[in-house]
Amino acid sequence: MFNKRIKIKDLLASDQTGQEVTVMGWVRTFRNNQFIALNDGSTNNNIQVVAELGKFDESLLKRITTGASLKITGESVPSLGKGQKLEIKAQRIEVLGDSDAEKFPLQPKKHSLEFLREIAHLRFRTNTFGAVFRVRHSLAFAIHKFFNEKGFVYLHTPIVTASDAEGAGEMFKVTTLPFDNTPRNEDGSVNFKEDFFGRATNLTVSGQLEGELAAMAFSEIYTFGPTFRAENSNTARHLAEFWMIEPEMAFYDLEDNMNLAEEFIKYIIRYAMEHNREDLEFLAQRLAEEEKALPQDKRSEMGLIEKLEFVVNNNFERVTYTEAIDILRESNHNKKKKFQYLVDKWGVDLQSEHERYLVEKHFKKPVILTNYPKEIKAFYMRQNDDGKTVAAMDILAPGIGEIVGGSQREERLDRLEARMDEMHIPKEEMWWYLDTRRFGAVPHAGFGLGFERMVLFVTGMTNIRDVIAFPRTPKNAEF
């Protein structure tokens, strides 16, 4: 059997010396023709391998270059160097894959995040991205663990769909029709009857509507899958392809929804803090170093670990949209025209700068905003008795703004149909969705959490392109 290796993380944690061990990994550095720093991705910590002088052929040693992969068998011995308790005294070294040191893009030095995005296929081998993607893994695992423990059913909703859940319009079309000879109707419009699905289809922007259908049978479900937005947004917060977690719960009202979302966020952050402490401490140090270059007023008031502990140990502030508008309108920030978008009247859609002001300057903690004007929210949200607002809720996080959006859903058929008419959403195309209101409707609610924004928050990274393996953004689909 080839793979009898011990992972470097496990070996460093074991403290067992005087044993024969086999490790495999990639060379980070090779010093003095004697000391190999080997890393296998299980931890940011390298194992030091000592190649005794005169023991190995010169031709072999020349192949031990940064980026090369090795299989090493040797004895674990107490380390004489600082930083780790043991090292390996090599008995056998096998080069599994050579790496041309002159051409290998990742030299043992500091690289900018912009440069690393250009070599996204190799950036996993850096300490920063090793830490980020191990944390991302833990958060994904914790999500499934949380919902499984609560008895939710995991549902795979379609990626190709004919419905637009948000009424957003910014969608990627899915078609097999030829571009150079597209079949047309008499009025010049595209004849989608000739297309693969016999109708216009697109990549999903949300699994919510299908999720609601399943919640009407299983009571509680969640989806966790890719979603797509064709917005031409070249910002540090937007991706064209990203992952969403969307639970839908029968027999829930808005307060139940808020309680679940807050518990969920705290649970997955706590899980990462328990299982990825080392990675988070590395990322916290990295963030502190990065912020030294910023002016004082742009720096975070808390360190990364401190911020995460603060979130899991404190109740989120709950305020209505109306209260938030009053706070923003009366703020010095607004009066001194420091907002790019001034808050002058009730009914405006809050921008990221407003959300961050509420979280970072006013309340100094995560905030749940509720009861938004119905004009700025989707058709499926439950209408409140005031006739002006809907039972919506957004959770705002420091450094990011909106991280969760959700609502109690409108279960009353007549109210839902009237709202769809107002918003020109064709009821005949949504017959299947309306059926859930015809046959045993119940109060129900749900929310969506953008996974990459959550990873951004937990890792302290500042650009969303650095928390997904291969970012899809305008004019960029490399790798």
| Residue 95 shares a structural domain with residue 129 | no
| Residue 339 shares a structural domain with residue 377 | yes
Could you tell me the residue range of the domain that residue 50 belongs to? Answer: 8-108
| Residue 295 shares a structural domain with residue 418 | yes
Predicted pLDDT of residue 10? 95
Predicted pLDDT of residue 334? 92
Predicted pLDDT of residue 168? 55
The count of C-alpha atoms lying within 13 angstroms of the C-alpha of 32, restricted to the half-sphere facing its C-beta, is: 8
| Residue 130 shares a structural domain with residue 83 | no
CA 452 vs CA 7, 14, 136, 315: distances in Å? 28, 34, 9, 23
Ranges of residues in the chain with a pLDDT under 50 are none
| Residue 331 shares a structural domain with residue 413 | yes
Q: What is the pLDDT of residues 383-439, one digit of tens each?
A: 999 999 999 999 998 888 899 999 999 999 999 999 999 998 889 989 999 999 999
| Residue 410 shares a structural domain with residue 290 | yes
Does a structural domain hold residue 344?
Answer: yes
Q: What is the 3-state secondary structure (H, E, C) of 44-110?
A: CCCEEEECCCCCCCHHHHHCCCCCCEEEEEEEEEECCCCCCCEEEEEEEEEEEECCCCCCCCCCCCC
CA distance 474 to 148: 36
Q: What is the pLDDT of residues 286-343, one digit of tens each?
A: 999 988 888 887 778 789 999 999 999 999 999 999 999 999 999 999 999 999 999 9
pTM of the predicted protein model = 0.94
Find the distance separating the first CA and the last CA of the chain, reported in whole Å: 33
Predicted pLDDT of residue 166? 60
Does a structural domain hold residue 143?
Answer: yes
- 8 Å CB contact between 191 and 184: yes
Query: What order do you get walking across the sheet with 220-228 strand by strand?
Result: 153-154, 220-228, 241-250, 444-450, 401-409, 389-397, 367-373, 317-320
Q: How many domains does the chain have?
A: 2
Does a structural domain hold residue 3?
Answer: no
| Residue 22 shares a structural domain with residue 141 | no
In this structure, the number of other CB atoms found within 10 A of the CB of residue 337 comes to: 8
Q: What is the CATH number of the domain that holds 15?
A: 2.40.50.140
Predicted pLDDT of residue 83? 73
Does a structural domain hold residue 201?
Answer: no
